[in-house]
Amino acid sequence: MGVLETITGPADLKALSPAQLPGLAQEIRDFLVESVSKTGGHLGPNLGVVELTIALHRVFDSPDDAIVFDTGHQSYVHKLLTGRHDFSKLKKQGGLSGYPSRTESEHDVVENSHASTALSWADGIAKGRRLRGEKGRHTVAVIGDGALTGGMAWEAINNIAADKDLPLTIVVNDNERSYAPTIGGLADHLATLRTTRGYERFLDWGKNTLSRTPVVGGAMYETLHGMKKGIKDIVAPQGMFEDLGLKYLGPVDGHDEQAVESALRKARAFGGPVLVHVITEKGRGYDPARRDVGDQWHAIGKFNPETGLPFEVSGRIWTDEFNDEMVRIGAERDDVVALTAAMLIPVGLDGFAAAYPDRVFDVGIAEQHAVTMASGLAYAGLHPVVAVYATFLNRAFDQLLMDCALHRAGVTFVLDRAGVTGSDGASHNGMWDMTIASVVPGLRLAAPRDGDQVKLQLREAIDVTDAPTVIRFPKGDVGPAVTAIRQHGDVDVLHETSLDSCELLLVGVGAFAGMAVDIAGKLEAQGHSVTAVDPRWVLPVSDDLVELARAAGAVAVVEDNLVSGGVGAAVTLALRDAGLDVPVHLHGIPKQFLDHASRGQVLEEVGLTADAVATALAGRLR
């Protein structure tokens, strides 16, 4: 039996001798490579935090002490050390979540996998426990260097540093990367810390070296000590943190478990907020992940652990269509620029960046800044394209509304992974964006149904100069083109039983347009007359769609977004405003957080399949 198999919780870990820990670390890395190769998951980040997580659980007493991970994708080792060893269904229905989960363990605190939030959580937890008189309970926030680029993290630091007695430890896991290499002034500052020895060590060297000649040595040491401020300014840039009011410890080799443990014990005993700067290597212990420069090992699918090669070779995905078209547009229009929030490759801007490096801005994990900066770029005469995952648009709603739309800024938002994404769980499903966008005056939103429409509608969006535009598409393979049989103004008609009668006007939104055609066929086989359409630009609702609804006995909308406040709700309101008293049947995602599972399983669970929708509509059309 290996050591890992004996670990059912932190108490077992604390009972181990220091000599047993390197072997345990190796077992954990072997386990992660073997397990994630079968399921996929966030391998690179977790290989890098093995010794750090061991040290955390040996020094602190979870769950009495709260350990908050930012972001939660670096929590696999934490799961193992708190007794969760069955990774066979990681990120799959009924299996372990890819992030901390309160339903899994009392050791998990924050489930949300959106970055830069841990310090605010930790500040609240620590202050709340103190107010309740719970002395002796400590709070730890483990934050990656990439997450420190988010403004919310610095809002929290501003408050934490002002509370000199708060028992809170901030561990900065510095691996020089978030998804990709961390950029910006903070990254430069951390790089300086990584390569600089602290002035305290310099003074210690002087004291130890000169102590053999007490008079001269002592005098020289006093001189050195008097030069402390000057030396500190030169060789100790940790002063930035200390000037804010945070005790700084480090930098510490994050793969020297005993060194990390020692630093954490000092932090725990300090009696106030402490920042422990730990240097780790992403992908540590597995050469394919360690050598990765494109961050394909940040989150990986199934792979051969012997070779590091993927078992599943994906076809052409939606993001590829956007990526290629952006490069073509960039060659035609030098006013088009692009912004991303630390996800250049995942959102498909790497091609544009390679071709036009001066026209891409990676702002770090700072979506709010990205949107307002884009508004400034638009004011300066450029057309910015802001590419983020759909779930992350939530983080910049105020900026979208007040900085972009209010100022009629011509900014295009490209939302990748819109709708149900599945395996990453509630925080990653992009099911809120159309509801959010629907309340923004002047905004236009397109939901392309296939790759050809991604290209066409991206160009249409970039031609809009006096309002924000949004293009949204889902995760995964793009599939074949869905051809229109005719156009009715701006609306593409995809299926039509009869030109003379229409029992049901079926509106398929985005990737669900193909499903709408399938549903129409099923209903037609039952004797119903159905017209299936793709509005293309789904917000605001077009007059052409309203005109088609005048000739229909009923309208149904199928969308990969919340039913509440989505396209269906907008269609209902538009028809009422036009004086049409026609039934409208809405099919979308219910207003609830969805558990992790495959996209297909989630859609089946919420009734968004062709069979389920056709059955429901057939019952209403009788």
267 appears as a binding residue in the annotation: no
73 labelled ligand-binding: yes
Question: Residues 377, 405: contact at Cβ < 8 Å?
Answer: no
Maximal CA-CA distance, the chain: 107
Provide the CB-side half-sphere exposure for 134 (13 A, CA).
14
Catalytic residue, from 58, 177, 268, 282: name it.
Answer: 282
CA 159 to chain centroid, in Å, comes to 25
| 416 is known to lie in a ligand binding site | no
Q: Which of 169, 146, 173, 142 is nearest to 279 (CA)?
A: 173
286 is in an annotated binding site: yes
Give the contacts of 192 (CB within 8 A, at least 6 positions apart).
237
Do residues 59 and 278 touch, judged by C-beta distance below 8 A?
A: no
User: Edge to edge, what strands does the sheet with 360-362 contain?
Assistant: 360-362, 336-340, 383-389, 412-416, 469-472, 444-446, 537-539
Q: Exactly one of 51, 257, 261, 367 is catalytic; name it.
A: 367
3-state secondary structure of 9: coil
CB 78 within 8 A of CB 60: no
Cα-based distances in Å from 17 to 2, 58, 115, 268, 497: 15, 11, 35, 21, 75
First to last CA, the chain: 65
Burial category of 483 from C-beta neighbours within 10 Å (exposed 0-12, middle 13-18, buried 19 and up): exposed
The answer to whether 159 is annotated as binding is no
Residue with tokens 């309740």: 132
174 sits in which H/E element: strand 168-174
Query: Does the annotation place 367 within a ligand binding site?
Result: yes
CB-CB contact of 373 with 363 (8 Å): yes
147 known ligand binder: yes
Tokens linked to 415: 């939302």
Residue 57 among known ligand-binding residues: no
395 is catalytic: yes
Do the bridges between strand 412-416 and strand 469-472 make them parallel or antiparallel, or are there none, so unpaired? Answer: parallel
**Geometric angle at alpha carbon 471, from 470 and 473, rounded to 5°:** 140
Clarify whether 328 is annotated catalytic: no
User: Hey, is 413 helix, strand or coil?
Assistant: strand
State yes or no: cis peptide before 346, omega within 30 of 0: no
177, 247, 268, 395: the catalytic one is 395
Q: How far apart are CA 92 and CA 509, in angstroms?
A: 27
Closest-CA residue to 388 (of 379, 397, 380): 397
Interacting residues of 11 by C-beta distance below 8 A, sequence separation 6+: none
Between CA 174 and CA 324 the distance in angstroms is: 33
Question: What is the CB neighbour count within 10 angstroms for residue 607?
Answer: 15
Catalytic residue numbers, as ranges: 282, 367, 395
Give the annotated binding-site residues: 73, 113-115, 145-147, 175, 286, 367
Binding site members for Mg(2+): 145, 175
- Binding-site members for thiamine diphosphate are 73, 113-115, 146-147, 175, 286, 367
